[in-house]
Amino acid sequence: MRLFLIISMMLLTGCSHMAQDAWSGQDKAQHFLASAMLSAAGNEYAQRQGVSRDRAAAVGVMFSVSLGATKELWDSRPAGSGWSWKDFAWDVAGATTGYTLWQLAEH
């Protein structure tokens, strides 16, 4: 269902081209690290707002992943470098790693 929504968003927002990039590189490390930090920060923020631990975890991961998707939508505009599923995969991997590390640090 989520994949369907992402593809629909791409089509409706005019994603006209895809990036021709590699699976590794400095930008992939930046996507991973930024997503991990954003996930942990979103998790902590939600917990400080009194949200349950499970819901805070979901907030953190979705906050991070949604920012990654937004960045890829920005890149997919005609003047951009194109949507990169590889960048987005690194965003998701970073978000889940940030969530995991934050949860482990809580115990």
What pLDDT, on the 0 to 100 scale, is given for residue 15? Answer: 57
Domain residues for the domain of 95 are 25-106
Residue 12: pLDDT band with limits 50, 70, 90: low
Query: Which CA distances in Å does 91 have to 11, 26, 50, 58?
Result: 21, 13, 26, 15
Count CB neighbours of 46 within 10 A. Answer: 19
50: left (phi over 0), alpha (psi -120 to 50) or beta: left
Does residue 16 lie within any of the structural domains?
no
Does residue 63 lie within any of the structural domains?
yes
Does residue 33 lie within any of the structural domains?
yes
Does residue 46 lie within any of the structural domains?
yes
> How high does pLDDT run on average in the chain?
86
Query: Which CA distances in Å does 1 have to 5, 8, 11, 50, 72?
Result: 6, 11, 15, 29, 19
What pLDDT, on the 0 to 100 scale, is given for residue 13? Answer: 55
Query: Identity (one letter) of the amino acid at 83?
Result: W
Does residue 38 lie within any of the structural domains?
yes
More reliable by pLDDT, 61 or 14: 61
What pLDDT, on the 0 to 100 scale, is given for residue 82? Answer: 83
Does residue 40 lie within any of the structural domains?
yes
As for how many domains the chain has, the answer is 1
Residue 77: pLDDT band with limits 50, 70, 90: confident
